[in-house]
Structure 1
Amino acid sequence: MLAALLLVLLYGALPAHAELAETDWLDLLPPEDLQALEQMPDIEHWGAETEGRFGEVDGLRQQPGLPEVMYSTRTVAALDGRQIRLGGYPVPLQHDAAGRVVELFLVPYPGACIHVPPPPPNQIVLVHYAPGLAIEDIYQPLWVEGRLRIESSSNALADAAYSLQASQLRLVEEDDL
């Protein structure tokens, strides 16, 4: 009883169903990257898709010649190990035998890795979710909850500066809006 009282005093009483506060994508950017992105000129969204390179190895990676911040892997150290809730859009990477997505890149806007340039690596999160989720539309936003890690990953589509082992992955529903 004393231990339970101590926990309530230290951490406060939260309902068992309480959701984590939403983490904003801009929170994943160190201040110097946020400032550089805010001052960056518009970028044209053409390249791999229109040039027929979509399916090629490295076809969606950042192309040379963009402002340096578009290649940034700088992260926010205070977020390492933090439980977060992040909304975004899926770029499916691996499926299980039932066709559910078990690994994906989460990106801040729809079509982010299809219409180049993709976001900077510090705006891409590699998500692992062993139970898998049926995703039929990559333009349907998701909620992802789990422990965020500063961990670089790279594959044929893009580079990510963060990873997340998801404890929950679900489609955003109309009631969420």
Structure 2
Amino acid sequence: MKRLMLFITMLTLAGFLQAATINGKTVEDTEWDSLMPADYSLDAIFDTTQFGSLDDYDPLAEIKLKAMMEALSSAPVVQEMDGKMIRIPGFVVPLVEEGMAVTEFFLVPYFGACIHVPPPPSNQMIHVTFEPGTQVENLYDAVWISGELKVATVAHELGTSGYTMEAYKIEPYTEE
């Protein structure tokens, strides 16, 4: 009996220790920073020092805002991430809803992104499709998304993403 219990315990532990796979690919837990080139900095590509001294109605403010939005929507991506099966936490910004289910959305690293101007840089946004759809009861709640990441640009009125993903799994966020 003790051997049977030990065997069952070992099988259970082996299941926990084995890396998750989807479509034969190992799923890697991924941080948002890994979607930006190591040398990328918004400050390095766009000068924000004049913003504090600009009046909202100053014509230069509109020119600077347009330049900033262009810089955000063309942020460099990490080509080596293309085709990787990843799991990443984030917040849902719904784009397409079918009934009560969200089937297309931006995944962003922090709450309120895209809803408030400006959106995150494109290398910090993932355009996600999930055919069965998912219920989003509260936009304040973070989720884990698992799927194959692709380097591709998707422009929408709420922002531009530098990555796309067809999600295979969506689950509530929990600290691990």
| TM-score of the two chains, using structure 1 as the length reference | 0.69
Kept in 2: contact 1:87–1:144 (CA 8 A) = yes
Kept in 2: contact 1:133–1:170 (CA 8 A) = no
Change (3 A) 1:71 1:158: closer
Change (3 A) 1:67 1:102: closer
Structure-2 residue corresponding to 1:55 = none
Structure-1 residue corresponding to 2:15 = 15
Structure-2 residue corresponding to 1:128 = 129
Which has more helix, going by share of residues?
Answer: 2
Three-state SS of the structure 2 residue aligned to 1:166 is strand
Structure 1 unaligned blocks of 5 or more: 1-13, 45-61
| 1:158 pairs with 2:176 | no
Kept in 2: contact 1:91–1:104 (CA 8 A) = yes
State how far apart, in whole Å, the 2-side matches of 1:104 and 1:68 are.
21
Change (3 A) 1:144 1:109: same
Q: CA deviation at 1:36?
A: 4.2
Q: CA deviation at 1:79?
A: 0.3
Counterpart amino acid of 2:95?
Answer: L
Three-state SS of the structure 2 residue aligned to 1:70 is helix
- Over alpha carbons, which structure has the higher Rg? 2
Instruction: Tell me how large the CA RMSD over aligned residues is.
Output: 3.0
State how far apart, in whole Å, the 2-side matches of 1:65 and 1:114 are.
19
| TM-score of the two chains, using structure 2 as the length reference | 0.70
State how far apart, in whole Å, the 1-side matches of 2:69 and 2:164 are.
24
Q: CA deviation at 1:21?
A: 3.8
